[in-house]
Amino acid sequence: MNDELDPETRIIGSASGDLAWVRRGDPGDPAVIGLHGTPGGRHTAVPPAEVLSGLRLQYLTFDRPGYGLSTRALGRSVASVAENVRAVADAAGVDRFAVIGGSGGSAHALAAAALLPDRIVSVTLVVPTAPRVGDPSMGDVAWFAGMDPTMKRMHQLAVGDVAGLRDAASAAMGDEGASTIDGLVDDLVSTHQDWGFDLRSVKAPVSIWYGRDDVNAPPAQAVWLAGQLPDARLHPQTGDHSWPAQRMPEIFAAAYGA
């Protein structure tokens, strides 16, 4: 799918190159910056206008490097995306904000909280991923436990066969994945490297929402994260990886009260 410039999208320069971002809602309202999943982009998982107006929130989000209209940053880390968050917040004229990270975006939300501590009000993680390596880390056995075999295979390729990962992802997504394949590969590869910050340095309150039946991001990862973060609260839900789409108002309402 071609990702064309639309009237809502702004392009700014950043340390990683061009960065495409959007703002939804009233610029005068408190801000939430969203970190999309893997794959994803600036137009995915965006709360409806009526939800934002009802909650009196504005929502900012962007294509991570390698997705959509944002320049790919070869070798990017989880930690490096914090500078993209800073760039979007600065461009939007927002000083303090909450961050929400969904699925593959959850690590990047935590990176922003760890590396931009004076700017983060709260962190919301939805069906999150935990670090497999580094300090602290879950380790191989616990990280892969309970995961869907197809998803497990994609992650295993990200650890040791990036070319194989690209081939598998391209076959799975076809032409529709043309604007996301680089970002997807870079997301998965960086997930299995040291994230570049200490989870224990995240001082903002963290709200963790997960599905008890999730086999893409197994619940054990959410529970493990809660045990490592200084101020975290778990919100277990009935459902798999898809339940958050029906619960956006509730999740966003809690963003400033994690």
CA pair distance 198, 32, nearest whole angstrom: 23
Expressed as residue numbers, the domain containing 195 is: 9-253
What pLDDT does residue 4 have?
A: 79
Question: What does the H/E/C string look like for the chain?
Answer: CCCCCCCCEEEEEECCEEEEEEEECCCCCCEEEEECCCCCCCCCCCCCHHHHHHHCCEEEEECCCCCCCCCCCCCCCCCCHHHHHHHHHHHHCCCCEEEEEEHHHHHHHHHHHHHCCCCEEEEEEECCCCCCCCCCCCCHHHHHCCCCHHHHHHHHHHHHCHHHHHHHHHHHHHHHHCCCHHHHHHHHHHHCCCCCCCHHHCCCCEEEEEECCCCCCCHHHHHHHHHHCCCEEEEEECCCCCHHHHCHHHHHHCCCCC
Give CA separation, 2 vs 5, 45, 69, 121, 180, in Å: 10, 19, 10, 35, 10
Distance CA 130, CA 199 (A): 10
Averaged pLDDT for residues 139-151: 96
State the CATH number of the domain containing residue 111: 3.40.50.1820
Residue 4 lies inside a defined structural domain of this protein? no
Task: Indicate the burial class of 228 (C-beta count within 10 angstroms; 0-12, 13-18, 19 or more).
Answer: middle
Residue-wise pLDDT tens digits, 215-234: 999 999 999 999 999 999 99
What pLDDT does 197 receive?
98
The whole-number average pLDDT for the span 134-144 is 96
pLDDT of residue 29: 96
pLDDT tens digits, one per residue of 48-103: 999 999 999 999 999 999 999 999 999 999 999 999 999 999 999 999 999 999 99
Q: Average pLDDT over the chain, rounded to whole? A: 95
In a domain, 175, yes or no: yes
Q: What is the per-residue pLDDT for 178?
A: 83
Q: pLDDT by residue (tens digit) across 165-176? A: 999 999 988 877
Domains identified in the chain, total number: 1
* 127 within a domain of the structure (yes/no): yes
Give pLDDT tens digits for 241-254: 999 998 999 999 99
Residue 186 covered by a domain? yes
In a domain, 3, yes or no: no
Average pLDDT over residues 198-211: 97
pLDDT band (50, 70, 90) for residue 1: very low
pTM (two decimals): 0.96
Q: Is 1 part of a structural domain of the chain?
A: no
pLDDT in the model for residue 257? 61
